[in-house]
Amino acid sequence: MTRRNQLLAIVLGLASLSQVAAQTPPAPAAGSANPAHERLKFDAESAYQNGEFAKAIDLTGRVLAENPKDHVALYLRASARVELGQMQGNAKEVRTGVEDAREAMRNGGTDQVNYYLPYFYGMTALAQLENRPEHAQVVVDFSKQLLQRQGIKPEDAANLYYQRATAEIMLQKLEDAIVDYNAAIEKTPGHVGARLGMADAYVRLNQPEKAEATFTAAVQAVPNNPLVYNNRGMFFQNQGKPQQAIADFTRAIELDPSYTVAYTNRGFAAMSEGNAQAAEADFTASLKVDPAQPLVYSLRGTARLSRGDPQAAILDYSEAVRLNPQNPIARADLGFAKYFAGDYAGAVTDLDAAVQASENLRYLNPWRYWASVKAGQPVAASAAKLGDLVSKPAEQRDWVDQLSLFLSGGLTEQQLMNAAEPKDPTLRAAQLCEAYYFEAEKRAAAGDTANATTLYQQALATKQAHLSAYRGAQYALKNFSPVK
C-alpha cells in the first residue's frame, strides 16, 4: 500500500474556498424594519463568505425563529446548509438547504434569480451524494427556462450557466459543461468558479494542455485571487511538476498569508521533492492558522518520520487520531511510527485497531505479524494476525499473503523473490522493496547482520520512497537521505 498515493488523492482534493460560495452573490435587501434581524443577517452573510457555515445557520436560525417568512434569512440559511452538507457528505443537511431555498422563493418571489442558486447547487449535490442523476437533470432543465427570461442581468446569467455546467459535470456531459462555463465567462470574465470548473473539465477529459491554458487564463483574469494560483498549483503537482506547483502555492500564500490549504499543498509538494524540513515548516504554518486539521497533523508526522524523528511523528499521529478517531489510516500511521521507534507492542495495538476498523487494510497483516514477533508475543498470538493464510489455496494467495507466508516460515527467500510481479516494472519494484526489507528483518533477527545490511541497502536501491518498507530500511540503516 502506498502512503504517497493515499495522500496525493487527499491533498490534491483540497481547496480553501468553495467555488460556489465564492460566486454566490450577496443576498438582496429585505427591507426589514427590525435592525436586530438585519444585523444578524449581515453577520450570517459574512460568516458564509468566510466558510463558517454552521455559524451562518445559527445566526439565520435566530431570525427565522421570530420571522419564519424572512426570505433573505431563508436564502442565506439555504446556502449555508447546502455548503455544509456537501462538505460533510451529509445528504440530510443538503435536503434541508434545498427546502430552505424553496421557501425563500415562495416568500421572496421567484423573480429573484439568486434564490435559485442554492436550490440548484443542492440538487446537484444530492445527485452526487445519493447517486441520483435525475436531480442534476432538474438543474439542467430548469436553468434552461430561467436563461430564456428577458432582461436577465449578466452576472445572474453567468451564475446560472455555472450551476448548469456543474450539473452537467455530474451527468458526465463534459463537453456541454465546457460550453456553459465559456458562456458564464463571456457574461462575467472574472467568474472564478467557471474558469476553474472549465479547467477541471479538461482535466477530466484528459486534455492537460487545454487544462493548463485554462488555469493560466484564470490567473490572468483574476491575478489577485489566491484560489486560482492554489488550484493551478494542484494541477501542476498532479502533472508531476512540483517546482511550478510550489511557485503557485507560494504566490497564493503571498496573496493570503492565512491560506491554510496553500501551506498544506506546498508542504506536500516539498515532500515529493524530498525536502522534509521545508514540508514540516509549511505544515506547521498551516496548523498555526487552523489547529483542527487531522490530515495536516498526519502529513507533518510523515515529514518528521522521513527525517528520522519518530517520537515527534508519534505526537503528530496521536493528535490526528484524537481529532479523527474513526480514521483507520491515521491509526495505521501511528502504528508504523511506533514500529520505527522500536515500540513493537504499541505498534501491534495500533495496527490491530486499524485492521479491525477497515477490512481494506489487510496489507497491514505482515507488519502486524512481524511487530508481534519482535514484541516477543506468543507464537499463537502472532500467527492469529495472518488469518486463514495457511488454509488458503496457493493459487488464491496475493502478494500480501506471500509476504505473510515468508515471515511465518512458509516460503524461502528465493520463493518470495519468484513470487514478485514479473511483467509490471512499477509493481515489481514495489514488491521487491518489501521483499528485500522483510528478508533483511529476518536475517537481522537471526543475527546475520552483514547480509541484513546488504538487503536493507537493496530495498533503498529500489527508490520506492512511498513504501513503509523503504522507510523501515532507512531506519535500520539510519540513512535518511532524500531519494535521488
Kindly report, residue by residue over 374-391, the tens digit of the pLDDT.
Answer: 999 887 666 666 766 666
Question: Does position 417 have pLDDT exceeding 70, yes or no?
Answer: yes
Grid-cell match 444530492, residue found = 126
Residue 189, domain extent: 7-284
pLDDT at 111: 75
pLDDT at 381: 66
Using CA atoms, how far apart are residues 327 and 258, in angstroms rounded to an integer? Answer: 27
Query: What is the distance of C-alpha 461 from the center of its chain?
Result: 30
Question: Does position 243 have pLDDT exceeding 90, yes or no?
Answer: yes
Question: Does position 10 have pLDDT exceeding 70, yes or no?
Answer: no
Give a yes or no: residue 306 inside a domain: no
Question: Does position 4 have pLDDT exceeding 50, yes or no?
Answer: no
What's the number of domains the chain is made of?
Answer: 1
How would DSSP label each residue in 29-77? Answer: P---S-HHHHHHHHHHHHHHHTT-HHHHHHHHHHHHHH-TT-HHHHHHH
Question: Does position 91 have pLDDT exceeding 50, yes or no?
Answer: yes
> Between vectors from CA 285 to CA 282 and to CA 286, what angle results, nearest 5°?
90
Question: Does position 2 have pLDDT exceeding 50, yes or no?
Answer: no
pLDDT band per the 50, 70, 90 thresholds, residue 484: low
pLDDT at 8: 38
Question: Does position 257 have pLDDT exceeding 80, yes or no?
Answer: yes
Domain with residue 253: its CATH number is: 1.25.40.10
Question: Does position 239 have pLDDT exceeding 50, yes or no?
Answer: yes
pLDDT at 114: 85
Give a yes or no: residue 472 inside a domain: no
Give a yes or no: residue 133 inside a domain: yes
**DSSP E strands: which ranges in 330-419?**
none
Give a yes or no: residue 255 inside a domain: yes
Using CA atoms, how far apart are residues 319 and 254, in angstroms rounded to an integer? Answer: 29
Phi (first) and psi of residue 410, to 5 degrees: -90, -10
C-alpha cell recorded at residue 408: 511465518
Question: Does position 12 have pLDDT exceeding 50, yes or no?
Answer: no
pLDDT in tens, 343-364: 999 999 999 999 999 989 999 9
Q: Positive or negative, the Cα torsion across 137, 104, 49, 327?
A: negative
Give a yes or no: residue 167 inside a domain: yes
Give a yes or no: residue 221 inside a domain: yes
pLDDT at 6: 37
Query: What is the average per-residue pLDDT within 171-199?
Result: 97
Largest CA distance in the chain: 85
Question: Does position 330 have pLDDT exceeding 60, yes or no?
Answer: yes
Grid-cell match 522507510, residue found = 471
Query: What is the distance of C-alpha 23 from the center of its chain?
Result: 22
Percent of the chain scored above 70 by pLDDT?
90
Query: What is the average per-residue pLDDT within 13-33?
Result: 47
pLDDT at 151: 87
Query: What is the average per-residue pLDDT within 229-249?
Result: 96
For 365, residues 6+ apart whose C-beta sits below 8 A from its C-beta are: 355, 385, 386, 387, 400, 404
Query: What is the average per-residue pLDDT within 362-379?
Result: 92
Least confident of 189-193, 321-325, 394-398: 394-398
pLDDT at 7: 40
Give a yes or no: residue 436 inside a domain: no
DSSP state for residue 1 in the 8-state scheme: -
Q: How high does pLDDT run on average in the chain?
A: 91
Query: What is the average per-residue pLDDT within 153-177?
Result: 96
Spatial contact of 260 and 226, defined as CB atoms under 8 Å apart:
no
Question: Does position 238 have pLDDT exceeding 70, yes or no?
Answer: yes
pLDDT at 175: 97
Question: Does position 414 have pLDDT exceeding 50, yes or no?
Answer: yes
Give a yes or no: residue 394 inside a domain: no
